[in-house]
């Protein structure tokens, strides 16, 4: 286990406020109302439970937690750059097929600097013949949304009725080699919508993951935003671990462009991606994630009001647990 740099909640709050120059659209009208049916999978015990969650009730509970912790909603959903804090203190298989639009504009980046250190490389193992042994591996991407919260695409963890849940998930921090090493982390549990696991509804192709370790303090995390308005025309970036091109495997690449289409649950964009990019953050210049990259074409699942509240709840639980 890597040594984790710990810091106070007040220091994180101060930095998060400093690093986010725009307010997150936290109080926008919800595009989805009522209840969400969720499935929670415990990675350790390999068991799952289903539950029904009221979005309005979850929002009320989150507001109460924010008040108790003395954290504003804008701060709770802001991006966090640990390097800025330190500076101020001191003075082979891909999960899905993606698209290259025209020339390949993806650029290799240094995963040791923010925000790229908050983007995680995933090795995902499946037991395809039911003998209890992982015999097939795929590659994907995730990103930090809190000290012990990771977000990725739902299809990275759910293989459908045939393969079910991913059998083994290895999470790599600051991955920067064609060889995936022996230092990696594991999830503790994750949450998906049954709308995806039961019907493969791509509007709900997301997965919110609780980690066994605190990775955010040393690597930072992205903020997340929800909006009642269309996002068409927004300039965004996608950073992740492409795997369709052999020379790119194990290295992080980034590409920027414009959101070209937007609905309540989906966004489309003219940004180059490849297999392995599934689960990458679609974020703006303030480190605010507006969608999760999921499909070739290219398109992603928006941070809906329901997912927004789920992520805020998980983030606040992490604050209560670790600080």
- Encode 150-189 in three state secondary structure: EEECHHHHECHHHHCECCEEEEEECCCCCCCCCCCECEEE
CA distance 118 to 247: 22
Domains of the chain: 9-89+92-322 (2.40.10.10)
**pLDDT bracket for residue 29 (50, 70, 90):** very low
**Is the pLDDT at 278 greater than 80, yes or no?**
yes
Q: What is the pLDDT of residues 260-273, one digit of tens each?
A: 999 999 999 989 88
**pLDDT bracket for residue 83 (50, 70, 90):** confident
What was the pLDDT predicted at 85? 54
The pTM (predicted TM-score) of the whole model is 0.85
> Which residue from 214, 272, 275, 220 is spatially nearest to 245, judged by alpha carbons?
275
What was the pLDDT predicted at 272? 85
**Is the pLDDT at 220 greater than 90, yes or no?**
yes
What was the pLDDT predicted at 33? 53
**pLDDT bracket for residue 178 (50, 70, 90):** very high
> Do residues 192 and 166 touch, judged by C-beta distance below 8 A?
no
What was the pLDDT predicted at 270? 87
> Which residue from 239, 179, 170 is spatially nearest to 211, judged by alpha carbons?
170
Residue 34 backbone zone (phi > 0: left; psi -120 to 50: alpha; other: beta): left
CA distance 82 to 211: 19
If one compares 118 and 89, the residue with the highest pLDDT of the two is 118
What was the pLDDT predicted at 26? 33
**Is the pLDDT at 109 greater than 90, yes or no?**
yes
Residue 130 backbone zone (phi > 0: left; psi -120 to 50: alpha; other: beta): left
Q: What is the pLDDT of residues 39-67, one digit of tens each?
A: 999 999 999 999 999 999 999 999 999 99
Helices (H), 72-169: 73-76, 82-90, 154-157, 160-163
């Amino acid at each position: 286990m890597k040594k984790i740099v710990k810091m106070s909640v007040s220091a994180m709050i101060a930095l998060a406020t400093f690093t986010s120059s725009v307010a997150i659209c936290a109080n926008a009208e919800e595009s989805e109302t009522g209840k969400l049916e969720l499935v929670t999978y415990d990675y350790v015990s390999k068991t799952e439970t289903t539950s029904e969650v009221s979005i309005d009730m979850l929002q009320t509970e989150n507001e109460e937690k924010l008040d108790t912790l003395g954290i504003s909603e804008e701060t709770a959903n802001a991006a966090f750059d640990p390097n800025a804090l330190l500076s101020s203190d001191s003075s082979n298989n891909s999960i899905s097929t993606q698209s290259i639009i025209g020339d390949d504009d993806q650029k290799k980046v240094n995963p040791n600097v923010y925000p790229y250190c908050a983007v995680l490389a995933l090795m995902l193992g499946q037991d395809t013949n039911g003998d209890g042994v992982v015999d097939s591996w795929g590659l994907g991407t995730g990103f930090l949304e809190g000290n012990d919260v990771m977000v990725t695409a739902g299809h990275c963890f759910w293989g459908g009725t045939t393969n079910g849940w991913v059998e083994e998930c290895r999470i790599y921090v600051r991955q920067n080699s064609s060889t995936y090493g022996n230092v990696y982390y594991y999830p503790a549990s994750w949450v998906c919508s049954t709308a995806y696991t039961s019907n493969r509804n791509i509007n709900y192709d997301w997965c919110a993951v609780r980690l066994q370790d605190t990775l955010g303090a040393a690597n930072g995390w992205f903020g997340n935003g929800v909006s009642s308005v269309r996002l068409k025309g927004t300039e965004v970036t996608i950073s992740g671990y492409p795997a369709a091109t052999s020379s790119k495997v194990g290295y992080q690449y980034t590409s920027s462009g414009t959101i070209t289409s937007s609905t309540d649950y989906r966004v489309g964009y003219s940004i180059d991606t490849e297999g392995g990019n599934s689960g990458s953050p679609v974020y703006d210049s303030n480190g605010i994630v507006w969608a999760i990259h999921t499909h070739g074409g290219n398109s992603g699942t928006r941070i809906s009001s329901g997912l927004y509240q789920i992520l805020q709840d998980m983030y606040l639980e992490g604050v209560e647990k670790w600080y």
